[in-house]
Amino acid sequence: MANPLKAGRIDDFAFSLAAYIDQAMHNEWQAVKGESLPDSDQGAQDRRILFAAIAQGVLKFLADHGSDLITSEESGNGGLNQHRHSMAFTVDTFRTPLP
């Protein structure tokens, strides 16, 4: 089985979905504003808290609704050959409680 997807927490941010979101924010800010996103103020910590919360919620939702992500498609031959896709993953480093 693949490694768990890492949502990220403030105390465990590296290599997580939250870190990817933070990097994307830096990239977009630079592209739009033409300057680096400030990283040395209270806003930087607040931003990371927000990104960690979003990442935790998204991955927890996907984990809880994994069966909803399974798709089936019947071929044009009356359904004799079905093609099925499924996704399976585990989630790590989300803060509890989440639904």
Both tokens of 4, joined, read 């768990």
Whether 86 has a pLDDT exceeding 70, the answer reads: no
Q: What is the largest CA-CA distance in the chain?
A: 62
pLDDT of residue 83: 61
pLDDT of residue 78: 59
pTM of the model: 0.74
What's the CA angle centered on 21, arms 8 and 6, to 5 degrees?
25
Domain map (residue ranges) of the chain: 5-92
pLDDT of residue 67: 74
Angle between helices 42-64 and 17-33 (to 10 degrees): 130
Provide the mean pLDDT of the chain: 81
pLDDT of residue 3: 82
What average pLDDT does range 54-73 have in this prediction? Answer: 80
Of 98 and 51, the structure prediction assigns the larger pLDDT to: 51
